[in-house]
A and B are shown apart, each in its own frame.
Chain A
Amino acid sequence: MTETMTMAKALNEGMRAALARDSRVLLMGEDIGPLGGVFRVTEGLQAEFGDKRVLDTPLAESGIVGTAIGLAMSGFRPVCEIQFDGFIFPGFDQITSQLAKLTARHEGTLTMPVVIRVPYGGHIGAVEHHQESPEAYFAHTPGLRLLSPATPHDAYWMIQEAIASNDPVMFFEPKSRYWQKGEVDRESAGIATHSSRVVREGTEVTLVGHGAIVSMLLQAAELAAEEGTSVEVVDLRSLSPIDFDPIVASAQKTGRVVVVQEAPGNVSVGSEVAATVAERAFYSLEAPVLRVSGYDTPFPPAKLESVYLPSVDRILDAVDRALAY
């Protein structure tokens, strides 16, 4: 049986389930208590589980991540909320130099079950530092895992997958999708760990993306279909490790791949997908793998974000270019 809910609610329900299942799970972050977070994703959880399970912290991202590490050392499973994508950098050192390396430094005797939730991406018309897509920094860091759901159903299950992980997980939440509704099946068996998924089948071009971009890829595929082009869409879901098999299989089928992301394209998750497809599907390709991304500039003022961010038109333009080879 499925229920209709927003992604924000699905994340809330996923965390509620995790808090109820395991008394060692803690939520911590800025304004996540009575306010329920600036996006209300943790709404009602402190009232339900108390302020020893859902902690409003001082306003310090390095402090949040650093103390979460200590809490994990003492046997807890902290889930940290970073308020906005662009505010993660004060915590970057603790994430990359400590959190990501502690299991290796301990030669495997210490697990680091810490989740760091990051609302990310554009399309909300916000001020500087509030619309960024910093996932590549973390995908580049050994020791971390990265997940990013595109639908409420995936969000409900993937946040629980992240909390159950014994490794640190960066959980990137596409904030422009928080209020989009979708069907959530709480009775299903969940989803396979770190799996990508074909969300629309097609035969001529493969579009690959993650997070908020996935719904745009589906729109592009629909418009392309009206013009007679059959487009397949793959949702990465996991950015580290990337589940390449479905992507490579799709590339072998269609021969043309376009990778789309909000983040700047230079040295990005999309670059890795392009390189791996080239390595593993070389003889199937009819065109070079193309990328559509945010430009390699700082995220611009909001009135320019529609220019900066990938759009359906830019995606269809890339589809046309791929087909022209």
Chain B
Amino acid sequence: MPYTAATVQLLSPEGTLVHSDASEQYLPYVDKLSDDALQEFHRHMVVMRRFDIEAANLQRQGQLALWVPSHGQEAAQVGSALAAKPQDHLFPSYREHVIALMRGVDPITILSMFRGLSHGGWDPKEHSNFHLYTLVIGSQTLHATGYAMGLNLDGLAGTGDPDKDTAVMVYFGDGSTSQGDVSEAMVFAASYQTPQVFFLQNNHWAISVPVSRQSRTPLYLRGEGFGIPSVQIDGNDVLASFAVSKANLDAARAGEGPRFIEALTYRMGAHTTSDDPSKYRDNSELEFWAQRDPITRFDTYLRGRGASQAFFDEIAAEGDDLAADIRKRITELPVPASSTMFDNVYSDPHPLMDAERAALADFEASFEEGN
């Protein structure tokens, strides 16, 4: 049982609101939410899970080389992302597919990476400040911290203007907390008092290695060790994820320095489709977390508030439509022209790129008819 008395939980696995010492300060954030807003939480989670299942199917059918499932982590991701303002910058790891979609990235762009057609390629400026995936574990925490240092230098935090003040949120996992870059990011963040939130999704497994191998201390206490106010939440509770993220993003935007959130969640599937979790973890653990599924409990909560079956049917249909859409479009994606390899290695002109581009074009042309 990973939860402790300090773990912030606003919605129990049974789908009822929790009143506790830990929850009391955050419940007001939830009280303000309308039924429509709450249903939006659910819509994102449900559509996301359908997308995730479809992507895994596409991998099994050979349309993707790899898929990185997010099943089980929907609440941590959706709640925190909905707490961010449009001007906030979000730096993902590589499993935050739903946040990409919420920030306007075409889901086919995400899939194109796993089909071997790009390394990312969306422009964060055009996609609500959602930055590119970073596959080297933990590297993005430093980029996020540097970005937040820039916000401070530009005077974009702590002005009191809610439309101007900006924060950064960076996503990373339990395995990455062992990387030096994550510690260095917290050193720099604390040192320069950056406007940012470190959002750790502790899904309990770094491929096959349990979090107990990464740390003997609850990970949120790591943040405290760097002088960063830190909190642990039930990451399968979308309301806790939203409310705690909102409170901490507000503090960061107000110029109060960095914050750290550890969201306890669980990777229900494999690390990637190349992995076989049955080799390293017990079904009993999976069963424990299945009882704490983020979507099931929120479904119960919404029905208790009177959400209609029509709503649930509607979002299920939306998920099916998205699945059908990506299934259709994935095979239509063109392979980039070979010359594009050279196009963006440098921003300024570069003689080696010009020479190699020309040499490859000549080589390819030599196979054309008549040559």
Contact = CB atoms under 8 A, between A and B. Distances in A.
Interface string B103-144: 000000000000000111101111000011010100101111
A129 B126 CA distance: 44
B139 A76 contact: no
Contacts, number: 135
Contacts of B343: 107-108
A176 interface: no
A71 interface: yes
Q: Which of B145, B148, B150, B180 has the most CB of A within 10 A?
A: B150
Interface in A40-70: 52, 57-58, 60, 62-63, 65-70
Size range of the chain B interface in the assembly: 35 or more
B206 interface: no
A68 B146 CA distance: 6
Contact of B347 (A68, A75, A142, A166): A166
Contact of A60 (B141, B153, B184, B347): B184
A297 to B, nearest CB: 29
Contacts of A105: 119-121, 132
B181 interface: yes
B87 interface: no
B121 A106 contact: yes
Contact of B143 (A69, A76, A104, A142): A69
A258 B325 CA distance: 62
Given A71-B147, A109-B123, A63 B344 contact: no
Interface string A66-108: 1111111111100000000000001001100110010111111
A26 B132 CA distance: 24
Contact of A62 (B126, B142, B191): B142
A8 interface: no
B344 A67 contact: no
A105 B94 CA distance: 14
A66 B345 contact: no
A103 B139 contact: no
Interface in A158-175: 165-167
Contacts of A58: 184, 187-188, 191
A143 interface: yes
A63 B345 contact: no
B180 A109 contact: no
A126 B153 CA distance: 37
A34 interface: no
Contacts of A243: 351
A310 B47 CA distance: 66
A277 to B, nearest CB: 16
Q: Which of A52, A90, A103, A108 has the most CB of B within 10 A?
A: A108
Contact of A74 (B118, B142, B151, B180): B151
A62 B184 CA distance: 8
Contact of A66 (B119, B145, B344, B351): B145
Contacts of B346: 103, 143, 145, 167
B348 A166 contact: yes
Contact of A70 (B125, B143, B345): B143
Given A62-B180, A166-B348, A167-B347, A74 B120 contact: no
B305 interface: no
B226 to A, nearest CB: 11
Given A62-B181, A63-B184, A107-B343, 14 more contacts: A26-B153, A58-B184, A60-B187, A63-B187, A63-B188, A69-B146, A70-B148, A76-B150, A98-B134, A98-B136, A106-B121, A109-B126, A165-B348, A243-B351
Interface of A: 26, 52, 57-58, 60, 62-63, 65-76, 90, 93-94, 97-98, 101, 103-112, 142-143, 145, 165-167, 194, 241, 243
Q: 7 smallest A-B Cβ distances: which pairs? A: A70-B146, A66-B142, A74-B150, A67-B146, A63-B184, A108-B344, A70-B147
